[in-house]
Structure formats: C-alpha cells, structure tokens
C-alpha cells in the first residue's frame, strides 16, 4: 500500500462535501512539500536559502499569478471558484485581498486533486506551476 493511500480515508463523495477551506488547508501543505522537494532536488542551496527561494513560489501573489496562467478544465475552474469565494475571515499581511482569494482557490484545487487521488492531473499542474513561476 502506498503512503498516500494510508493517509486518505474518505471517499470521493465525502471529499466533495468538504469545505473548500479544508481542501485549501491540505493543498497548502501539498504544494509547500512539492516546492521544497523540487528545490532540494534541483539546487545546492542551504536550507535557509531554499526557504527564501520557496517563497517565490508559495506566497499568495505567486500562487494567484500561477493560477491565472493554468489551463484548467471546467470542473477545476469550479473548484477554484468555490475556494476563492469561500468566506475566510483572514486578513492577509503581504498580499491584496484579491491575491489571497485566488491563492486560496489555487490551494483548494491542489488539495481537492490530492484528496481525490487524481495524481496524474495533480502532477501535470504542479509541473506547470514551476514553469509559470520561473517566467
């Protein structure tokens, strides 16, 4: 049994009923882990410098830019919309309210795909995120 299989205990119907903020909560950690792993594998930076570099990918403004440049299906756009429009009651420190809303939508999409084990599509999107962020 794969590591990920041990973590996911809900079925698709239960996942679809979750709050988009729950998807975003999971998506935030999945995306952060992906970026940290990517930087560990592609750079020779020390941990502090990797952290500084990772901010370029994971800050709200970067996620909003990435999201606006992704080619998404209609279903994925709906997931993003649900995440973006969910009441959060959190005021961002280093981003506009619009950037924060879009980054929440981005993280909701990543979390939704991860929880539903849509690994191939998740990988495609994460790889595209790197390309977009580097431009």
* Position 3 pLDDT exceeds 70: no
**Hey, what CATH topology would domain 18-134 get?**
Ribonuclease iii, N-terminal Endonuclease Domain; Chain A (1.10.1520)
Q: Tens of pLDDT along 5-26?
A: 666 667 888 999 999 999 999 9
Nearest to 128 by CA among 38, 14, 28, 7: 38
Residue from 28, 74, 78, 119 carrying the catalytic annotation: 28
Write phi, then psi, for 11 (nearest 5 degrees).
-90, 170
Q: Tens of pLDDT along 80-101?
A: 999 998 876 666 677 888 888 9
H/E element, 43: none
Given pLDDT bands bounded at 50, 70 and 90, which one contains residue 35? very high
**Does the predicted TM-score (pTM) go above 0.75?**
yes
Specify whether 28 is catalytic.
Answer: yes
Where do the domains of the chain lie? 18-134
Q: What is the pLDDT of residue 97?
A: 84
CB 107 within 8 A of CB 27: yes
Q: What is the pLDDT of residue 29?
A: 96
């Amino acid at each position: 049994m794969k590591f990920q299989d041990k973590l996911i205990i809900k079925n698709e119907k239960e996942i679809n009923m979750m709050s988009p903020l729950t998807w975003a909560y999971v998506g935030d950690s999945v995306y952060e882990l992906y970026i940290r792993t990517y930087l560990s594998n592609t750079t020779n930076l020390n941990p502090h410098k990797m952290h500084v570099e990772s901010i370029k990918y994971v800050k709200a403004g970067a996620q909003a830019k990435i999201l606006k440049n992704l080619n998404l299906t209609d279903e994925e756009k709906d997931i993003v919309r649900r995440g973006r429009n969910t009441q959060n009651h959190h005021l961002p420190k280093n981003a506009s309210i619009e950037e924060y809303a879009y980054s929440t939508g981005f993280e909701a999409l990543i979390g939704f795909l991860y929880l539903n084990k849509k690994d191939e599509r998740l990988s495609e999107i994460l790889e595209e995120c790197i390309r977009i962020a580097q431009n």
